[in-house]
Amino acid sequence: MTPLLRLLLRAGWAPLVVLIFHHQIQHTPWRQRLDFLMHYSGGVAIAFFLWHALDCFAHRFGSLTPFARYLFTFTLACTVGLFWEFAELFSDVVYGTHIQQTIHETMRDLIADATGALTTLVLTWFVRCFTAKGGTADQPPVSQV
């Protein structure tokens, strides 16, 4: 199985679910109330996707230390959130959509994205801590032959 197909099967569903949810909600009366949740879930989903992407493409880019993997995933997820906000601004300027109401809302969206990404990484760390047999959160478990 190719690394890209493995990534899409393993983690591609997460951003797709969030995008579908976002598309369904954006033109409803609930959009404003669910805006933070949409950005938070986007941060969760993209961090989950990127975590697995770093694993699936380690053969091409090299494997990272556990700390570097957490840091790189968080940084990439925040960058995706930032570019999402750029896309919203582009839509407002070019198409007159008025997605971004205030700078306060934009900053809140970026905080939601980063908080979602951080949540994913903290949960990943906890899962690795409690499922590692003979290893620690920073070391993979020792395989038993």
Q: What is the 3-state secondary structure (H, E, C) of the chain?
A: CCHHHHHHHHHCHHHHHHHHHHHHHCCCCCHHHHHHHHHHHHHHHHHHHHHHHHHHCHHHHCCCCHHHHHHHHHHHHHHHHHHHHHHHHHHHHHHCCCCCCCHHHHHHHHHHHHHHHHHHHHHHHHHHHHHCCCCCCCCCCCCCC
Distance CA 15, CA 41 (A): 9
What is residue 133's predicted lDDT score, i.e. its pLDDT?
63
What is residue 26's predicted lDDT score, i.e. its pLDDT?
81
Domain-wise residue ranges, the chain: 3-130
pLDDT digits (tens, 9 = 90+) for 14-62: 999 999 998 999 888 888 889 899 999 999 999 999 999 999 999 888 8
Report the share of the chain in percent with pLDDT over 70. 91
The pLDDT-based confidence of 139 (bands split at 50, 70, 90) is low
Distance CA 90, CA 87 (A): 5
Count of CB atoms within 10 A of residue 48's CB? 23
Model's pTM, two decimal places? 0.84
Task: Choose between 5 and 31: higher pLDDT.
Answer: 5
Sign of CA dihedral 14, 41, 78, 136: negative
Distance CA 26, CA 18 (A): 12
pLDDT digits (tens, 9 = 90+) for 91-111: 999 999 988 889 999 999 999
The pLDDT-based confidence of 82 (bands split at 50, 70, 90) is very high
- Say which residues have a Cβ less than 8 Å from residue 33's Cβ, sequence separation at least 6: none
What is residue 142's predicted lDDT score, i.e. its pLDDT?
42
CB hemisphere CA count around 145 (13 angstroms):
0
